[in-house]
Amino acid sequence: MADKAKLLEVLGKIIADVNEQKDFLTQLDNVIGDGDHGINLDRGFKAVEKQMPSYADLGVDEILKDVGKQLMKVVGGSSGPLYGQAYKKAGVYLKGKTEITMDDLLAMLDIAIEQIQRLGHAVEGEKTMIDSMIPASKAMKESYAADGDAKKALEAGVAAAEAGIEYTKTIIATKGRASYLGERSLGHQDPGATSFTLMLKAIAELA
Ligand code: ADP
Ligand code: MG
């Protein structure tokens, strides 16, 4: 499904899309958090952009490990360590591989969810990025198992992640800064679920 050139293309799109959506993500975080999610992520992916030339000499595993390292170093907030560790451990999984198959991508998403839950202890229904990640993972696995069509599975994943964003509007935050708001977090979508969906969309569009 994806070789190194494709991975770099997807990373380039995530860098560009995070930059384009920076103000939107920050606005979302302004309403239920501290208004830094877009700024944080954009700072992180700008650091990744700076690293892009050095990726010419690295394998797909080392590239993703470095992305994780940059995000952990530069993003800050809760999302920095969460996304950072997710990318890093997805990179560790890719050791020895030159191609990323749909099965690999599904395994990497499982690893990302596992890392985020290990660090942040959020389960579904707490109004976090997990509310888009787990439904996306389930939808992709189901769709891919049914007919082996990776493109279709990714589209199903994006639809589920988007439904996850809508779901976060209907629930009260019990993890992260938004939890300080209690009932006042109702009606507002979660910034992290939104940024995860942006990343998955970039993968789905280019894969
Ligand atoms: P901070 O909340 O520290 O300012 P960011 O604004 O960068 O960090 O990121 C906020 C997002 O991080 C939230 O919208 C949510 O999706 C995610 N998040 C926060 N805490 C957790 C957690 N414990 N588990 C999973 N995701 C979390
Ligand atoms: Mg914030």
Indicate the DSSP class of residue 95: T
Please write the tens of the pLDDT for every residue from 8-24: 999 999 999 999 999 99
Indicate the DSSP class of residue 36: -
Quick one: pLDDT at residue 76? 86
Quick one: pLDDT at residue 1? 86
Ligand 1, atom 3, lies closest to the CA of 77
CB proximity list for 34: less than 8 A, separation 6 or greater: 77, 177
Strand partners, 2: 100
Burial 164-203 (b: 16+ CB within 10 A, else e): bbebbeeeebebbbbbebeeebeebbbbbbbbbbbbbbbb
Taking the CA of 41 as reference, the closest ligand is: 1
Q: How many Å lie between the centroid of ligand 1 and the Cα of residue 100?
A: 28
Q: How many Å lie between the centroid of ligand 1 and the Cα of residue 135?
A: 18
Quote the pTM value: 0.98
Alpha helices in the chain (DSSP H): 4-32, 37-51, 60-74, 79-93, 102-120, 130-147, 150-169, 191-206
Ligand 1, atom 20, lies closest to the CA of 176
Q: How many Å lie between the centroid of ligand 2 and the Cα of residue 202?
A: 23
Indicate the DSSP class of residue 170: T
Q: How far apart are CA 104 and CA 122, in angstroms?
A: 24
Taking the CA of 176 as reference, the closest ligand is: 1
* For ligand 1, mutation pick of 117, 118, 129, 180 (most atoms within 8 Å of CB): 129
What are the 10-residue block averages of pLDDT along the chain, 207 residues in total? Answer: 96 98 97 96 98 97 98 95 98 97 98 98 98 98 98 98 98 94 93 98 96
Please write the tens of the pLDDT for every residue from 44-55: 999 999 999 999
Ligand 1 closest atom vs CA 77: 3
Q: How far apart are CA 100 and CA 91, in angstroms?
A: 11
